[in-house]
Amino acid sequence: MNNLLNNFTYQKIYLVQLILLLLIVSQLQAQQPNILFIAADDLNCDISPYGVSQVKTPNLERLAKMSMQFNNAYCQQPLCGPSRASLMTGMRPNTIGSFTLSDKLRRRKPDVVTLGQFFKEAGYYSGRVGKIYHYGNPKDIGTNGHDDERTWTERFNPAGIDKIREDEIISYGNNTKAGNRQLGISMAWWNPESEDEEHTDGMVASKAIEMIEAHKEEPFFIAAGFFNPHCPYVAPKKYFDLYDIDKIEMQDLKKAKAALEDVPEMATMRDTKAWPYYFDGVTVEEAKQCKLAYYASISFVDAQIGRLLDTLEENNLMENTIVVFWSDHGYFLGEKGLWYKRKAFERSARVPLFVKVPKGPEGVSCNKPVELIDLYPTLVDYSGFSISKDLEGKSLRLLLENPKAKWKDYAITQVHYNVDAQGYSIRNEKWRYTERNKGKAGRELYNHENDPEEITNLAKNPRYSNLIDSLSHKLQVYSDTYKPNSKKKK
């Protein structure tokens, strides 16, 4: 009888201990912050929080009021695939061997633990909808594109009328032949009478809302990747109606051409064949229409961001959710007569970045140079985990606690045209310095205190030789790490 009583007592103690353990685990999980990771595609800093009041982005203004806005954030390569691979691994393009749209994420580092994978393995629900890794747009919409399956618990790929009815998209220049159009790089737009949820990005927002509501009782890492404002610029007509074509301005082409006179040939080697606006035959008026369409696409994405923020508030999740909004790189809209990305200029390298953390700064701006690779360690840090030494970025916690704190001195952006054409650019709070093929194919130096549009290249001015030597030495640390994935064919 005593043995039975003892066994019963031990079972009760074990049961109580198990219940307590489960309660502790549940409490710890409840304290772990959720993460809403929002991306836009090809979005530059032409948005209202960054001072461009013409572009209507009230929900990004709303996010700015509850977060820290980074005014000098830079991508590591101004091209979708490499930039996104770098951000999602926390490593620079040279480290992971990602230079082109076709480079495989795990080619050089097959066992790399990506950002979403880290949280999945830490017990989070890790879900993606839309474009986080590279996708051809609109070619790969509705598929997994170049996505990484190991990153996610679940992934979703909606396709709206911007994909299903792409034959209705209007295209300019010598890229207009039906059935042979390359809409993924185009001067093209469409403004159908439609509802938001008929479009891919409206569907992305809707699925992200479903994911948030389905997993609100557990820690989640939910990534919502919007395809806009990547070309072709497609959005419901009501967003186009926000803008007046007569108020869309383009840089005078004579001034635009003059701005390129002191720039090394390699800097625009992909852009000058059909200058201006990349395609033969595009008029200034057509470029204005595309710029308007780009702005309309931004406003469309902004509305979807508002729906996501509403969902967090309606489900009482805002207080314990980290919200990050980022773009993969900047974008030219006719400045210097150029269009698109893939250039080591400020307009191509700089990105909008907002980071909201629980009990963190609200409505605060930071001017320190930061990099997209800083996001991975930041999210790991704020979630209470140890930061891997393999990560090449730095947690933004220091700046989120004090935007004027002593921080790393610069950000690095690189461009890759081919194995024989490389560029590396360093940006500190005052200067941008760029070397093409380690200076053999040209150098550029711009003073951002009085030349924010990078009009005057000071690299040949002997007054700045000591500065150039110093910045060049710092760049060499990064350029020396380049190893091509394959050697050039002879």
> In whole angstroms, what is the distance from residue 37 CA to residue 151 CA?
13
The pLDDT of residue 149 is above 70: yes
Q: What is the mean pLDDT of residues 321-330?
A: 98
Alpha-helix residue ranges (DSSP H) falling in 33-79 = 58-65
Residue partners of 473: CB distance under 8 A and separation at least 6: none
pLDDT value of position 181: 79
pLDDT in tens, 377-400: 999 999 999 999 999 999 999 999
75, 80, 290, 366: the active-site residue: 80
> In whole angstroms, what is the distance from residue 435 CA to residue 443 CA?
5
> In whole angstroms, what is the distance from residue 438 CA to residue 479 CA?
7
Global pTM? 0.93
pLDDT in tens, 150-208: 999 999 999 999 999 999 999 999 887 656 678 999 999 999 999 999 999 999 999 99
Whether 134 is a known active-site residue: answer: yes
pLDDT in tens, 456-483: 999 999 999 999 999 999 999 999 999 9
> In whole angstroms, what is the distance from residue 15 CA to residue 8 CA?
10
The pLDDT of residue 446 is above 70: yes
Q: What is the mean pLDDT of residues 131-136?
A: 96
pLDDT value of position 337: 97
Spans of all domains in the chain: 1-31, 32-409
Model confidence at 27, pLDDT cuts 50, 70, 90, reads very low
Q: What is the mean pLDDT of residues 308-331?
A: 98
Q: What is the mean pLDDT of residues 17-25?
A: 50
pLDDT value of position 61: 98
Please count the helices (runs of H) and the strands (runs of E) in the chain: 14, 18
Model confidence at 339, pLDDT cuts 50, 70, 90, reads very high
Q: What would you measure as the largest C-alpha separation in the chain, in angstroms?
A: 101
Angle at 453 between CA 451 and CA 456, to 5 degrees: 55
What are the structure tokens assigned to 24, written together?
């502790």
Alpha-helix residue ranges (DSSP H) falling in 350-462 = 375-382, 397-401
> pLDDT above 90 covers what percent of the chain?
90
Q: What is the mean pLDDT of residues 3-31?
A: 54
The number of beta carbons lying within 10 Å of the beta carbon of residue 51 is 10
Contact status, residue 373 vs residue 91, Cβ threshold 8 Å: yes
For the chain, give the mean pLDDT. 94
DSSP state of 271: T
45, 75, 134, 231: the active-site residue: 134
Report the b/e string of 239-252 with b at 16+ CB within 10 A: bbebbeeeebebbe
Q: What is the mean pLDDT of residues 404-420?
A: 96
pLDDT in tens, 68-110: 999 999 999 999 999 999 999 999 999 999 999 999 999 999 9
Instruction: Write the DSSP string, 296-307.
Output: HHHHHHHHHHHH
Q: Which of 29-43, 238-252, 257-271 shows the lowest mean pLDDT across its residues?
A: 29-43
The pLDDT of residue 264 is above 60: yes
Residue located via tokens 């924010």:
452
> pLDDT above 70 covers what percent of the chain?
92
Domain 32-409: CATH superfamily is Alkaline Phosphatase, subunit A (3.40.720.10)
Q: Nearest Cα to 437, choosing from 264, 260, 294?
A: 264
pLDDT value of position 383: 98
Amino acid type, 319: E
> In whole angstroms, what is the distance from residue 293 CA to residue 302 CA?
14
> What are the start-end ranges of the E strands in 200-337?
220-225, 233-234, 321-327, 332-333
